[in-house]
Structure 1
């Protein structure tokens, strides 16, 4: 089973309980850039060799939660997480459009 988190504190608690940190990456797209959101669960994800490239000018960058939440809300996204405590990767998550399924943990 999964649940969709929209509440800032619920998302922050879920991520930090698993050692997660907020990250953003600016990606050029035509004449504009767009912001990609990510959560990292270990410093190695930021320092990985494949983190930079021509389409990822600076790679992912750790940011504060307020900046990450602003990007999440600007993109009208929620965080879908697994709430099954029996096995699987407990840091499993995906981004979904708000309103895609009924939110179970309140509005942001």
Structure 2
């Protein structure tokens, strides 16, 4: 295969995405499992490559954590001001995702793993993909919403549409993070996202 892209991960000379792409999907899934990347069994090869590359990058090229807590919140930012929530159960993929705290922020590169708690960022991302807020039927807790999803118009009859207000109330009450991609590495639009609770293994 000519014109191989080489290392697509800036400032991480030891991480070769080309090497990862040459691995079989089963091998990548095992790597993802070793890195404690949640949801690897449902990922496609390119998503596995990105998540494993991000996890392998570890401290390389990552800025130190900023101190939490600017008190100013812009409209639609949510209670954390868009900042990612960290806890004992934070995944490695969260730690090596680019934090997005405003609708003005852009991914550093195509295929980059992103993370946010910013309501308007999440809403815009979903609406650009014709996605609507939803919950999984049968997972409710009393009168509280169950498992949160975004419905992209597939044929999943288990999804029940809800309002963004209900969705974000639940998202914030559970202190979730939204981990997602804008584009795959080839530049095509990505619908990949997952929700993670940094205090518990199960979101």
Q: Same fold (TM over 0.5)?
A: yes
**Rg larger in structure:** 2
Cα distance in 1 for partners of 2:180, 2:117 equals 11
Which residue of the partner structure matches residue 91 of structure 1? 191
When the two structures are aligned, how many residues end up with a matched partner?
87
Question: Residues of 2 paired with 1:86 and 1:80: CA distance?
Answer: 16
Structure 2, unpaired ranges of 5+:
1-111
TM-score by length of 1: 0.65
Distance change in 2, residues 1:40/1:66 (3 Å):
same
Q: Deviations over 1:14-34 (max 9, x none)?
A: 1111111100235267x9976
Name the one with the larger strand percent. Answer: 1
SS at match of 2:146: strand
Deviation string for 1:24-72 (max 9, x for gaps)?
A: 235267x997621011111522xx4xx3xxxxxxxx3101100000111
Which residue of 68, 82, 90 corresponds with 2:167?
Answer: 68
Match of 1:21 in 2: 132
Which structure has the higher relative contact order (CA within 8 Å, separation 6+)?
A: 1
1:1-108 equivalences under 5 Å are 1-25=112-136, 26-27=138-139, 35-45=146-156, 48=157, 51=158, 60-87=159-186, 90-97=190-197
Contiguous gaps of at least 5 residues in structure 1: 52-59, 100-108
Q: TM-score, normalised by structure 2?
A: 0.37
Superposition RMSD in Å: 3.0
Question: Per the alignment, in what secondary structure is the counterpart of residue 91 of structure 1?
Answer: coil
Secondary structure at 1:70 match in 2 = helix
Q: Runs ≥4 in structure 1, deviation > 6 angstroms?
A: 31-34
Compared CA separation, residues 83 and 32, structure 1 to 2 (3 A)? closer
C-alpha deviation, 1:85, in angstroms: 4.2
